[in-house]
Structure formats: structure tokens, C-alpha cells
Structure 1
């Protein structure tokens, strides 16, 4: 399809060029922390890992558009090599950005969940075997949650919001166009009905005129010239009636039978006919309203306004019988300050089910609004304050009132419901984005209880083994007599670490408040003591 007027045509290859610039900028931003670390860290494993991460992040940026999960896995490797607990801030920006892009660019949720589960499961043996610290696993899970899972959820939320909003507005636009077409057909049908009413009324008057002219044509008191003039008048009235039937009568809908005479039913007769059909109708007049005339509309009203009053009552009673069987219908007609108002209010349904075929597409109210509009009035229809449904029309009593300007139709109820459904899904996804990390965090905290018991049990150093240790022993010989795991950090009240020494802590008993501290330097045991609790020695 051709684009909107004035839209510039995109040059060939401009989008790919822009994508390359964006990717290059992204790589420069993500590779900046490890690149700086290469220049500042001393020679060792962290420095070599940072040097390898720079080209690795370039590959990740190249893959993040087509294989976003693979791109996310690449910075995980140097992060784990730097720290098995993922406590490596050099790679946190890369993890967060690539995780967000993975959530934004993937449609399936299962591969991402498998990826995060694989990293979490692989972290357990890495922390317990390589790091020899079970407490490192909860730290890994928490870091993975904050640096990767939460950005991925935010990216997925952004993707779903864009999809839901786009689909919702497309659906709303389509339904609005369909409703517009239905409303236009209803208005055209109502205008044809009005034309039919005018045809019936004018045809009746023209017929009476032709009958009276025919009677005058044979009046013996008239001379030949006058009789010829009256004959011409009768012929003109008959020809006008035929032309009116041909021009306006064809506008009547095929399923509407044209009456042989104009309708003379009053509002009271209409209400009485509805009562005979089983509808509880209560009719009242207010203000200076007089009883309806036999012409079919209240006294003093223009024909368009009077027929509009009749039509409002007729359509409202029909809808009440369809959708609220057994309910009481109150019809109130009043006139004041140059306006006649008619209000039809039905109570909530009285327990009866709508009869078969009572479904309505709302075209009746649209056509009713068109008739009231052409009469210069306004129409309101909707739920009544006390329950039920109400239709209220205000019509001018002055003849020759110009039709009210047609307003643009609002969104249909169905499209509004679809938009609300899309918004509720977005709100639910947002709630999941907040609740899911909290649930994972709660799981990590609960997981720390058995990990604490496990770590405390496997980090207990026997008192006899502690006593056999001597300052000056070689570190490999000392480590052979130590437990598999160390305690998770020093206990409360432990003194500061001696300068130039590396110290490890072991529990004196399960869940004890004090610990054994062993310090090493230059491959030998340089000190041992009991720290924390109430003792130190």
C-alpha cells in the first residue's frame, strides 16, 4: 500500500546501516568495563578473563538480534570464570542489557526459563566443588535474579505491552469501522422510513385534494371554464400522487409493507396495544401537556417532532418487551420552554428470559437517534440510575427547526471491552513482573535455611584436629586436615584481618556463635585463634 502523503522514501540499506551503528555503540558500551579492567587489573586470571570478554561481547552483540538467548549466554561465561557466584560487576551491564533484549526479541518463554534453570543448576556444583562454599549458590541465584531475570521480565513486558496495545487498537479500529457501517445503514433506513411517512401523509392529503377537485368538477353551478380548471387541478393532484409514490415510495425497505393510509395511532393507542400484548405500560403527561390529538402526535407539535415522539415510545416499548420481559415500563411526556421531552424507563427484567430472536445489534437506537436528530432534538439511551434502561428524547416544539449536526460515533461496547481486556492483560503481566522476582527471592531466602544447616554441619572443625595444628605448618598439610567447606564469613565480633594474610573460618559446632580462624601467608600457617562469641584465643 502507498504510504501517507509527504512520507520520505527510505534509502536502500539505510536500516541495515543504522543497525550496524547501534550494534557498534552497544558493543562499545558493554565492553568498556572489561576493557578498562584489562588496563587496571594486575596480571592474573581476572585480567585474562576481562581481555577475553571484549571480543566475546562483540560476538554477543552480533548474535543478539537473531539468537538473543545465545547472546545472553556469552557474558555468563566470563562472569562465572571471574567469580563462581557471579559477583563480578564488570559483566553486570552486559547481562542486564542482553537479558532485556532477549525478553524483548523472543516470543517463547520456555527456552528462557530453561536457560536460567541451567545456569542456576550449574552454579551448585561450581560453588560447592570449585568455590568450596555452599553459601555461594544463594548468592549466585540472587545475582542472577537481579542482573538477568528481572531485566528479561521487563523486556518481555515491553514486548507484550506493544503487541497487546497494537492488536487492541487494530481490533478497535476494525470494530469502529464496522459499527460505523451499521450505523450508516441504520440512519439511511430511518431516513427512508421518514420519507415513507412523508409519502403516506402527503399522498393522503393529495388524494383528498384530488377527491375534492373531482367533486367540484361535476358541480353544476360551475361554468365550463371553471370545471376545466378544476379538472386540471384534479389531474395535477393525481399526477403528483403518482410521482410521489414513484420517487419516495421506492425508498421504503423491502420488508416494510406500505400502508394504504397514513398511521393515525396515538401514543395512548400505542400504549394500549402494548398492554394488550402483556407489557405493563404506565403513561403519564407532565407540565402543560395536553392529550394527544388523533393526528398521532401531541397538540401543537410539528409533524416531524410528533412522529419522533411516537417513534421513541414505539421503539422503547419494543426493546423493553425484547430485553426486559415482565418489567414495568413508565412513559412520561412533558412540555416546557419550547421543548417536549419524552422519557421511557423500564425496570430491571422481572425474572423472565428474553424471547427467542430478541437479540439486537443496536441499530434500532441508531435509527431512533437519526429520526430525533433530523427533528432537531437530542436522544440519550443507557442504564437507568435505579436499574433497568431508559430512553430520553428532547424535541423542539417550534416548526422548521434545523436538524442537529450529526456527531461521530464513539467506540462500540465490544471494542471498548476488547481494549479493556488488552489493558487488563498488560496489568496482569506487570503484576507478574513484580511478583515473580519477589517469589524467586523468597525461594532463595527459604533455600538459605537448609544451606545454612548444611554449611554449618560440613564446616565444623574438630577440637582435637584444631589443637594438633601448629603455627608454621605448610598450608597443603594443614588443608588436608580441615573440613570440606569453610564457614560463611567471620562471626560477629571477630577482629580485623592481619595485614598481608589470608584467613579462613571454621565452625566450632553446628550453628555456633564462635569460630576457629586460621591465617596463612607465603604457603604456611601464620596464626590460629578462636574468634567471635564470648571467647577469643
Structure 2
């Protein structure tokens, strides 16, 4: 419930931010639309109505993104038939992008764009002063402010779906890997049970044998013989029950092991050396006079050496192998190190789960296992308690693939964030620069009627109150201007039209009065 509240609150916050962003341009007067004078509705009322309408568009943008994108289009057409209104430009771009991001289909968005062009075409004969050039401008603006953002949103949606599919596949593979690991661990536990069965079965058989000998001993009375017989039958029954229980754990089609249950590491190494493997054994874990290892630890040591020799044969054929056994305090340490192979194997060996099962065997014995490359070869080192030890807790959910998946997700999030804010910031800078440049150009235009009303000899203060705030090049003298008339103190240059700097009106002052006024052409 708390997580749902966070999601809802974050969505409300995102929608509120979106509404603030698309309504902020309404505070800026749209000089272009006002100068065109082609709107059939007063621009002030359009801007007032836009506040609640854009709020409605944001509210329905998740469930009905087509309706949300249509709202600023209608407002833009009400402001100017060219759809070129600074008040709604941001709303067009953002809601068109969200339309592509949140809706997979193409028919409804294309119908919206076509309808905008059709409505603009119908407005041309209705609005006084509108021409076909205005409609061509509308088509261009639809392509730039609606179609292109919509296509960007579609690309973002497809990319997100592709990434999501990749994550699902990775998580599925992760689960399959965990299931395979669980099967290997269960198989290793079954092998441990069989090893313990062989060891315990041997001990129970010896008990039954001694009981049988006691039963036929001449110096034992009838009651002693009866007790010995009961002991022999109990040992035989326990052996049979143990065999039945362990038989359930045997894999289908798995044949019994031909290696004796009490086989030693030295015998294993000797057989490998006799088969042609360059292996040597260094040290001993149970020297004469010392306490023997527990059966669990003894079988774990045997399995470590057995699996390490098998892997060395498959992955590094012909490489020298050293098996080292020694005691370190209360622990028994076994290490199997193979040198680099003299030549790579003819065919790459298939990866199995032997080391994973070996980890489970050592863990259940209360020890730790470390496997790592070493000087071009490979080393397997196990540290096990010589006395009975508790099994360590198996790691769960901390595999390499899971960690890499989490890292990849963080990288993708950063990449997506960068892919969003960098273009947005660049676009904001360009829009700001364009807006400031447009504002400077319009604020440096001297109205033709004002220019004609100026009279030579008028004092500078009375003339200055009618002049624009900026000149052609701001406060500096524009490049390419002709020489000033002789005897003048200063000359000022103002635009005739906002879209060009030449021709320009030149006003020159002498002694604080207007002395010259003419139209000049600036050389670029």
C-alpha cells in the first residue's frame, strides 16, 4: 500500500510539473500571433481558456493521449491558422511526444494530424486576411511540432519495450540457472547420502558379523546367544532400511559406484598417475597417531580431489597437477593446482556443474571452497573442519548475472535520463536564444508612421520617447553602415522590417536636435 501511494504521488507530481511547464508560456505575450491579427477569437480569451483545458489534457494524457494532444492543437488553431503560437508550442511538442510514448497505434495520431491540417484549410476562407501560404505554414508546423515529437515518442516506447523484453529474458535465464543449481545441489546431497550409506552399511555389517560370531561362541549361554541373534537381526534390518532409503535418492538410470566407500585420496591419485596423468601428492591429513577425520570431512576431501582431477583432465590435458594436503589448526586444507596445458584441447570442453556440486558438498561439511585461475592454470582450494561442523548458509540471489543485471539497469536508467535531459536542455537553450533574438528584432523596428511624423529640428528628448528600445545591433553601431553626414554628433539605426536589417531608418542628431533622417542600406 505504501508503495502504491508513492507511485500515485510521483505520478501526480509528474502531471503537475507537466501542467506547469505547458502553461508557463501563456504568461508571455504572443507578439507574432497578435501582429498577424488572423485569429477569429480574441487572444486573451484563448489564453484564459487554455489554463483549465491544458489541465484537462494533462489529467487524461495517460488514459487518452490522443485527446490530450488534440487540446493544444485546437487552442493553437484558435490563436492563429498557422498553428505558430509561442503560447502553445511547448504543449504541442510535449503532448505529441507523450502520445507516441504512451500509445502504440498509428491510426489515431495520424488522423489527428490530418484533421489539424484539414481544419486549417477550412479556416483559410473564413478568417479575413488568411491566405494559402498560412495553410502551408500550418502543414510545416504540424510536421515540426507534432509529427517529429510523436515519432520520437514512438521510438522511446519501442526502445523501452525492447529493453523490458531483454530484462525479462535475463531474469528467466537467471531463474533457470538457479533451478539448475538447485538440481546440482540435490544431486550432490544424494551422493553424500550414498557415501554415508556405504560407510554406515560397512559398520552395520561388521556389527552383524560380530553378533553372529558371538552367537556361536561356546562360552556364551542361551540368553547371550538369544541377545546376539536379536542384535544380528536388528543390524541386518537397519542395513536393509538404510539401503532402501538411499535407493530412493538414486537418479534414474544411475549405476552404483564401483569405487570402494573407504577409498583414499592417495589411492585416487595413484590411479590417476597410473593412467598417465602427471600428478603428485604432497602432505597428509591423517598421519599415524593423529585423530582421523570425520566421515563427512573425509568424503568431502576425496570429492574435492576427484572433481579437481577430472576438471584438469578435461580443461588442461597433459598439464602437471599438484595435490597438497595439510592441517591448519582445527581445519583440514586440500589444494589442487594444475599448470597451464602444453597445448590447448582439440575441442573446447562443455561447461558442467561439477564445481557447483563441489561447493554444496564442502558447504554441507561446514567448510569453504575457493576456485580461481592461477598463473595460467587453475587452483581449487577447500578448507574443512577436522571435527564435525555446521553447514554454512548457501548464498541466494547474489549470483554474478543478477549483480550484472542490476548494474546494467542502473546504466540504462542513467543513459535514458541523459538521452532526455541533454536534448531538452539543448532545445531549451535554442528556444531561448531564438526567442531573445526575435524579441530584439521586433523591439528594434521603427514604425513607419512614427518615422514620417518625426520633424527635423525636434529635440532629442521628444524624439526619443517614440523610438524603439533597441537599434539594429543593440547598443553598438551596426556593421556596413554608410558614413555619417558631416557635422552630426551621433546617428541611430532602426529596422524597417523585423526580418531584415537592410534597409534601415537612420536618425542623426546635431546639438541635441534631429538634423537628418533617411533610409540607408546596410552592407552585409
TM range (shorter): 0.5 to 0.7
**Which position in structure 2 is the counterpart of 1:97?**
94
Q: Cα deviations across residues 207-228 of structure 1 (Å, max 9, x unaligned)?
A: 2232233334333344444444
Aligned to 1:528: 519
Q: Against the structure 1 CA distance between its residues 63 and 271, is the aligned structure 2 distance closer, same or farther, given a 3 Å change threshold?
A: same
Aligned-residue RMSD, C-alpha: 5.6
- Is 1:408 matched up with 2:388? no
Residues 1:502 and 2:499 are matched in the alignment: no
Equivalent residue for 2:367, pick from 331, 354, 377: 377
* Inter-partner Cα distance in structure 1 for 2:74 and 2:339: 70
What pairs up with 1:435-450 in 2 under 5 angstroms?
none
- State the match for 1:124 in structure 2: none
**Secondary structure, counterpart of 2:88 in structure 1:** helix
Contact 2:285/2:326 (CA < 8 Å) preserved in 1?
A: no
TM superposition score normalised by structure 2:
0.61
> Which of 309, 314, 322 does residue 306 from structure 2 map onto?
314
If the length of structure 1 is used for normalisation, what is the TM-score? 0.60
2: CA distance, partners of 1:179 / 1:252: 23
Partners of 1:387 and 1:359 in 2: how far apart? 18
Note the 1:51-200 alignment, pairs <5 A.
51-52=45-46, 64-65=61-62, 68=65, 72=69, 75=72, 89-107=86-104, 163=161, 167=165, 170-171=168-169, 173-200=171-198
Return closer, same or farther for 1:370/1:28 CA change in 2, 3 Å cut-off.
closer
1:165 offset after TM fit, Å?
A: 6.8
| Cα 1:224/1:529, change in 2 over 3 Å | closer
Task: Evaluate the alpha carbon distance shift between residue 234 and residue 103 of structure 1 in structure 2; reply closer, same or farther with a 3 A threshold.
Answer: same
Q: CA deviation at 1:187?
A: 2.7
Higher relative contact order (CA 8 A, sep 6+): 1
Counterparts in 2 of 1:110 and 1:156: CA distance versus 1, 3 Å: farther
Distance of aligned partners of 1:35 and 1:373 in 2 relative to their CA distance in 1, 3 Å threshold: closer
Contact 1:23–1:61 (Cα < 8 Å) also in 2: yes
Partner Cα separation in structure 1 for residue 29 and residue 292 of structure 2: 94
Cα distance in 2, alignment partners of residues 311 and 237 from structure 1 = 29
List runs of 5+ in structure 2 lacking aligned partners. 117-131, 135-139, 429-450, 453-471, 482-490, 508-516
How do 1:458-537 and structure 2 match up within 5 A? 491-492=478-479, 496-498=492-494, 502-503=496-497, 516-517=503-504, 527-531=518-522
CA distance in 2 between partners of 1:144 and 1:391 (Å): 64
Q: Deviations over 1:422-442 (max 9, x none)?
A: 66666666676689899999x
Aligned length: 429
Give 1:468's aligned residue. none
Shift of 1:283: 3.3
1:394 aligned to 2:386?
no
What CA distance in whole angstroms lies between the structure 1 residues aligned with 2:236 and 2:409?
A: 62
Cα distance between partner residues in 2 of 1:386 and 1:417: 26
Q: Deviations over 1:357-387 (max 9, x none)?
A: x342x3x333322222222112233x42544
Work out which of the residue numbers 274, 278, 300 in structure 1 matches 2:292. 300
Of 344, 347, 350, which aligns to 1:351? Answer: 344
Measure the CA separation in 2 of the matches of 1:33 and 1:438: 17
Is the CA contact 2:367–2:382 (under 8 Å) kept in the aligned structure 1? yes
Kindly tell me: are residues 345 and 37 of structure 1, through their superposed partners in 2, closer, same or farther at Cα, counting changes over 3 Å? same
Q: CA deviation at 1:270?
A: 1.8
Q: Contact (CA 8 Å) 1:345, 1:391: kept in 2 or not?
A: yes
CA contact (8 A) 1:341 1:393 kept: yes
Match of 2:358 in 1: 368
* Contact residue 35 and residue 50 of structure 1 kept, 8 A: no
Q: Is it true that 1:234 corresponds to 2:232 in the alignment?
A: yes
Partner deviation per Cα, 1:116-170 (whole Å, 9 max, x = no partner): 9xx9xxxxxxxxx969xxxxxx9x99x969x99789858965x578656755654
Report the Cα distance in structure 2 between the residues aligned to 1:50 and 1:391, rounded to whole angstroms: 81
Q: How does 1:4-43 map to 2 (within 5 A)?
A: 30-31=22-23, 33-34=25-26, 37=29
Mean CA deviation greater in 311-320 or 346-355:
346-355
Q: Is the 8 A contact 1:72 1:102 kept in 2?
A: yes
